[in-house]
Copies of this chain bind each other. A is one copy, B any other.
Amino acid sequence: MAKYEEAIETLRKKGHRLTPQRLLVLSIVAEGDAHMGVDDVFTRAKAAYPYMDIATVYRTLHLYKDLGVVTEVAIGDRLHYELTDPSGRHHHMVCRMCNGAFNLGPHYLEEFRRTLISDFSFEPDLEHFTITGVCSDCQPASGKA
């Protein structure tokens, strides 16, 4: 697991402590399906280590997000996390009807970023970006309802 080892190295380099809780959360996110909900992470972590507290899960995921180790995706009204893969950077399109999450290549937003910078000197946060909408499967077949 190259990304997993890199993440640990990032932690160490920035002076954060390698606690069993942090390593556990990291391994769960690394092994899990893409886009794990906080509650999934917590449930699995608690199974492995019963003292695990939900606050620790939140704090750990936030730390990993700040470090760029995980990527946060808002799916429906809940936050989900996936291990960041620098070689596979992508944004997300999330369907408001089926909650499906689809990846979106970073180049789709590069022009938008350049325009905001040149027109407004506004530097958008586009390390990771999620746009909601309706996916092709959920597009209304015909009229209203």
Q: Can you tell how many copies of this chain the complex includes? A: 2
Complex formed: what's the CA distance from A126 to B108 in Å? 15
Instruction: Give chain B residues whose Cβ lies under 8 Å from the Cβ of A133.
Output: 116, 122-126
Determine which of B109, B122, B126 lies in contact with A135 in the assembled complex, contact meaning CB atoms within 8 Å.
B122
- Find chain B residues with CB under 8 A from A135 CB: 120-122
Contacts of A96 in B (CB 8 A): 125
A19 contacts chain B at the CB level, 8 A cutoff: no
Number of residues from A at the complex interface, CB < 8 A? 25
How far is B131's CA from A126's CA once the two chains are assembled, in angstroms?
9
Main SS at interface, chain A: mixed
Complex contacts, A102 vs chain B, CB 8 Å = 120, 122
User: Roughly how many angstroms separate A96 CA and B126 CA in the complex, as a whole number?
Assistant: 13
Complex alpha-carbon distance, A99 and B41, angstroms: 31
The reply to whether A134 and B139 contact each other, CB–CB distance below 8 Å, is no
A115 interfacial by beta-carbon distance below 8 Å: yes
User: Contact at B132–A120, with CB atoms within 8 Å?
Assistant: no
- The answer to whether A87 has its CB under 8 Å from any CB of chain B is no
Q: Check A93 for interface membership: any CB of B closer than 8 A.
A: yes
